[in-house]
Amino acid sequence: MSQSWMKLPERSNTLALWLIRTIALHIGRPAGRALLYPITLYFLLTAGEARRGSRRFLRRALGREPTGREVFRHIHSFAATILDRVYFLTGQLARFKIEIHGGQRILDQAASGRGCILLGSHLGSFEALRALGVHRHHLPIRILMNTGHNQLMTRLLNALNPALAQSIIPVGGPETLLKVQESVEQGCLVGVLGDRAASGEKIVRCRFFGEEVDFPAAPLVMAALAGCPVILFFGLYLGGNRYQVHFEPLAERIVLDRRQRQEQLGVWVQRYADRLEHYTRLAPYNWFNFYDYWREDGP
């Protein structure tokens, strides 16, 4: 399994992230957004792997060779959502126009006292969703996150909102999913990003943009074992200060039979992959997997 997303250089982000945070909190969003242009340019020039990843994805999504401007726009859109994370994390929601589709479903789920799995992806910003849920509706949201490979983001989160940092369930160790299951039992909505499989993880092969891709099996196996619903979410960044959050039910309950488990999982994960492809086509510049996702270079 490709591990390159774990290896993507965090070092070049160090300065940029520090800058983004300082500017965001002390100088303001307009200045911050102006500075995104040189920051994007810096990324474009120094992060070769991310640039190639972007180009490969855009070629696939647009069906033609992307222009330099389009690659720039892709990376810029990523940088813009990182800047906005600072505002979301500090509860500054009034700055944004957030359009919500299917939000009642989440409110109903939370009101029922039953937990669920919120299945998302690295398309757009999950921070928009978390901010809405936590700051506006006080929902018990926890996110399962790989804090190890993204230590900088983790530090940023710790500095900006320690309470929220506490609500993260870190990936790692045999007890990880036990923790998720307990949280669901306590009525938490547990956010999981289901589009990147780590090495050695159980996987399900699905068609995605016309080719087979390995998706992690864990989110749906977890939901099956916990006997809880799965709700899909997509937080799309539309440019400027506009976001669009979508919620869709995937399954009220996933039942897996041991002998046909892989086939049954295949059906559910394919549904997820189809919805992910749908929203990725709607907002291609929100695709934030800047690596060789389709393994065009081989395994």
Partner 1 sequence: MDACSPFELEVARLLVETLHLEDIKPEDIAPEEPLFNDGLGLDSIDALELALAISKTYGFQLRSDDQQNRQVFASLRALSQHIALNRVR
Long-range contacts of 103-111, Cβ-Cβ distance < 8 Å, separation of 24 or more: 103/245, 103/247, 105/231, 105/247, 105/249, 106/133, 106/139, 106/189, 106/231, 106/247, 107/137, 107/139, 109/189, 109/229, 109/231, 110/137, 110/139, 110/140, 110/187, 110/189
- Pairing, β 189-193 against β 141-145: parallel
| Residue 17: partners with Cβ closer than 8 Å, 6 or more residues away | 82, 152, 153, 156
Q: Which is nearer to partner 1, 85 or 196 (CB)?
A: 196
Q: How far is the CB of 122 from partner 1 (least distance, A)?
A: 20
Q: Which is nearer to partner 1, 220 or 250 (CB)?
A: 220
CA distance 233 to 119: 6
DSSP annotation of 252: S
Q: Which is nearer to partner 1, 81 or 183 (CB)?
A: 183
Which residues contact partner 1 (rule: CB under 8 A)? Answer: 173-182, 200-202, 217-218, 221-222, 225, 258
Q: How far is the CB of 220 from partner 1 (least distance, A)?
A: 10
Please give the helix or strand (H or E) that residue 11 lies within, else none. helix 11-26
Q: How far is the CB of 244 from partner 1 (least distance, A)?
A: 33
3-state helix, strand, coil in the chain (%, to 5): 55, 20, 25
Q: How far is the CB of 198 from partner 1 (least distance, A)?
A: 10
Q: How far is the CB of 261 from partner 1 (least distance, A)?
A: 9
Q: Which is nearer to partner 1, 162 or 174 (CB)?
A: 174
DSSP annotation of 187: T
Q: How far is the CB of 145 from partner 1 (least distance, A)?
A: 14
Residue 102 token pair: 């299917």
Q: Which is nearer to partner 1, 185 or 212 (CB)?
A: 185
Q: How far is the CB of 139 from partner 1 (least distance, A)?
A: 21
CA distance 215 to 205: 6
CA distance 2 to 299: 6
| Residue 111: partners with Cβ closer than 8 Å, 6 or more residues away | none
Q: Which is nearer to partner 1, 162 or 173 (CB)?
A: 173
Q: Which is nearer to partner 1, 96 or 268 (CB)?
A: 268
